[in-house]
Structure 1
Amino acid sequence: MKIKIYDTNDEMSKAAADLVVQQLQEKPDSVICFPSGESPTGMLRYLVQYAHEGTADLSRCYIVGLDEWVGMDESNHGSCKHYLHTNFFNHLDIDPERVVMFNAKADDLEAECERINNFISSKGGLDIMMVGVGMNGHLGLNEPGTDWDLYAHVSDLDPITVQVGQKYFQEETALTKGITLGLKHLQEAKQPILIAAGTKKAGIIADSLQGHISVDVPATILQTLPHARILLDKFAASELERAS
């Protein structure tokens, strides 16, 4: 893995957006996975700006949503779909047929996982899989203890995820399961990219990037991926023993 540290969240976000633009220039029909949450907001803002300026052409790429809370859709303000629509899709002229996201209200969630798996496979895999990291080291909703060989799957949410996840909702919300791309997708992605900012992420970043490799901290899988890119601001990187 290659770690790059920036002075500010804004610089880190711009660098992440620039990686997407570079990928699109090289392959306009790239398949790109975006996460939701606090970490990608700045990056998405830059991509919207680039699209309006004509610097980035998103018209031919395919966008895959990383995950979703089971039982929710874009009408839930704390949902991943609502986040991506509010911060990204609503500001762009993107063909809905090129956006693939989990239907977390589907009657058959296993079939929904297969639908997403098959779509990614049919396009030759993910060109970029962008992820943030949870306070328990989860990537997407791959919770502690998740098998690293899984593709898309339904997960039981870790108590820390349930607790931290409340910040996305206007009132306390019952969260029990998630549906998510798997860590096998991350391993197979041509560019796995982790973005993280802020002092609150410093501890888990240090554990993930320099701690013992274990399924108990899913983000430690990044240590096994030589082609992974890690983009951090200096605050998220503040507990790393060394910068590379």
Structure 2
Amino acid sequence: MKISIYPTNDDMSRAAADLVAVYLSVKPKSLIVFPSGESPTGMLKYLIQYAKAGKADFSQCTIIGLDEWVGMDERDYGSCKHYLHTNFFDHLDFDPERVVMFDAKAEDLTAECERINHFISSHGGLDIMIVGIGMNGHLGLNEPGTPFDLYAHLSELAPITVEVGQKYFKQETALTQGITLGLKHFSEAKWAVLIASGEKKAGIIAESLQSEMSTAVPASILQTIKNARILLDEGAASQLKHSS
């Protein structure tokens, strides 16, 4: 587990984009997981700049979506698909065949999880899996209590996730379940990457990285992942002991 701390969110975002660009230069056919939400927005802006400037080549890689609210797709404002299309895919000439995301409107969501699991395993596993962190320590929609050994699965959303999730929608929206890559995917990725910014995340970052590991705090799995890379701005790192 390597922790890197940057002065600002912008610096952290650029470092995350650099990490992706460097990996792509070594392995162009990578499988990369992008999250949605506030945390990756700056990183995606830099990656768009890099792609347009010829500093990052996405022509051979495959992007996999981290999660989705059950019952939503890219036409739903506030959905994870809508976010990634709006903030990334729509800005580049991206081959739709190289975008693999959950169909959260599928009739059989268990089969949908199996489809994503099979795609990942049949393509040699994930190269980079980037996640943010929820206020309750969730990664993706792996809520507190989620076993560390699960692959893609359905998730019953915690009350705080439902509450915080409202900020992504124009009006109050019923959220009950999510479909998400699992913590086992995260632990098996060649690079497991956490990005976080702001003092509001400082408490859960410190608890996840420096308190006893427990499924009650899903992000505490990072303590077991040797190849984990944790990118924080100074606000998010402000409660870490002996941070440097």
Q: Same fold (TM over 0.5)?
A: yes
Q: How does 1:61-76 map to 2 (within 5 A)?
A: 61-76=61-76
Give the Å deviation of 1:155.
0.5
1:235 Cα deviation from its structure 2 partner: 0.3
Query: Counterparts of 2:83 and 2:59 in 1: how far apart (Å)?
Result: 20
Q: Offset of 1:242 from its aligned partner?
A: 1.6
Q: Which runs of 4+ in 1 moved over 4 A?
A: none
How far off is 1:238 after superposition?
0.4
What CA distance in whole angstroms lies between the structure 2 residues aligned with 1:37 and 1:201? 14
Secondary structure of 1:232's aligned partner: strand
Structure 1: how far apart are the matches of 2:195 and 2:110? 29
- Residues 47-86 of structure 1 show CA distances to partners (whole Å, capped at 9, x for unaligned) of 0000000111000000000000000011111100000000
Letter in 2 for 1:132: G
1:172 alignment counterpart: 172
* Aligned residue runs from structure 1 range 84-99, under 5 A: 84-99=84-99
Q: Equivalences for 1:1-244 in 2 at 5 Å?
A: 1-244=1-244
- 1:191-212 Cα deviation digits (max 9, x unpaired): 0000000111011111111111
Code of the aligned partner of 1:87: N
Letter aligned with residue 102 of structure 2: F
Q: Which amino acid aligns with 1:25?
A: S
Q: What is the distance in 2 between the residues matched to 1:236 and 1:62?
A: 30
Deviations 1:69-118 (A, max 9, x none): 00001111110000000000000111000100000000000010011001
Q: Aligned partners of 1:119 and 1:145: how far apart in 2?
A: 26
The whole-number CA distance in structure 1 between the counterparts of 2:132 and 2:234 is: 16
Q: Secondary structure at the match of 1:173?
A: coil
The alpha carbon displacement at 1:243 in A equals 1.6
Indicate the percent of aligned positions where both proteins have the same amino acid: 73
What whole-Å deviation, never above 9, does each CA across 1:106-158 have from its counterpart, x for those lacking one? 00000100110011011100000000000000000000000111000000001
Deviation at 1:226, TM superposition (A): 1.2
**For 1:183 and 1:142, how far apart are their aligned partners in 2?**
7
2:203 maps to a residue whose letter is G
Amino acid paired to 1:227:
N
CA distance in 1, matches of 2:73, 2:161: 18
Residue 168 of structure 1 deviates from its aligned partner by 0.5
Provide TM-score, normalisation by structure 1: 0.99
Amino acid at match of 2:114: E
Give TM-score, length-normalised by structure 2. Answer: 0.99
Tell me how far apart the structure 1 counterparts of residues 110 and 92 of structure 2 sit (CA, whole Å). 31
